[in-house]
Amino acid sequence: MKRVEDDIAYTLISQQEIYDKVHEVGRKISEDFEGKEPVFVGVLKGCFMFMADLIRCVNISSEIEFMAVSSYSGTNSTGAVRINKDLKGDINGRHIILIEDILDSGVTLNYLKNYLMVREPASVSIVTLLDKPARRKAPIYADYFCFDVPDEFVVGYGLDYNEKYRNLPYIGVLKPEIYS
């Protein structure tokens, strides 16, 4: 029986490192948004593990929403963002915190931020688990992020390749022969 770990070249970020950094970012967000009651908007599917852990580290009054978008085919961004699930509630005047697993090309998050700004929120902030600046194509940056990562194909802790590897409790680099 093949195990998902067999496809990982090496562990880039351990489970303990993730835990520690997510708690640190959660504390910072709590300080920065105290008294503002933000709406955390998770970008599915990749955000689910990170968002669940992050929300447990935030100790302010807040709400949770989800959006589902698609812009990838295999390992590459298509450049076209499609919204598969939109927000239900009115965000006018609200502080929005977009939660994403990785800021890679920036195309998706740039699109989403502009899309949400039309609804006139008080602010839109971005928090990502991983930031991969080497692949940035859009002029967007995370307000909060846990780790800078090199230009490697990473999976685990919610990040996938063809819907697999999300269940790994750490961030690993996928062996190139898996996606080549």
| DSSP per-residue string spanning 17-41 | HHHHHHHHHHHHHHHHTTTT--EEE
- 104 labelled catalytic: yes
- Please, what are the averages of pLDDT over each run of 10 residues along the chain (180 residues)? 90 98 98 98 96 97 94 62 91 98 93 96 98 94 97 96 95 94
Q: Which pLDDT score is estimated for 66?
A: 96
Any domain includes 172: no
Q: Which of 66, 52, 60, 63 is nearest to 33 (CA)?
A: 60
Any domain includes 155: no
Q: Which pLDDT score is estimated for 80?
A: 80
Any domain includes 96: yes
Any domain includes 4: no
Any domain includes 138: yes
Any domain includes 77: yes
Cα 3 from chain centre: 25
Q: Can you tell me the distance from the alpha carbon of 7 to that of 177, in angstroms, rounded to the nearest whole number?
A: 9
Q: Which pLDDT score is estimated for 71?
A: 74
Residue range(s) defining the domain that contains residue 117:
26-149
Of 7, 53, 104, 131, which residue is the catalytic one? 104
Q: What is the pTM of this model?
A: 0.92
Any domain includes 173: no
**Strand partners of residue 159:** 156
Number of domains in the chain: 1
Q: Which pLDDT score is estimated for 76?
A: 58
Token couple for 110: 């740039």
Burial of 75 (0-12, 13-18, 19+ CB in 10 A): exposed
Q: Which pLDDT score is estimated for 72?
A: 57
Tell me the CATH number at 145.
3.40.50.2020
Any domain includes 2: no
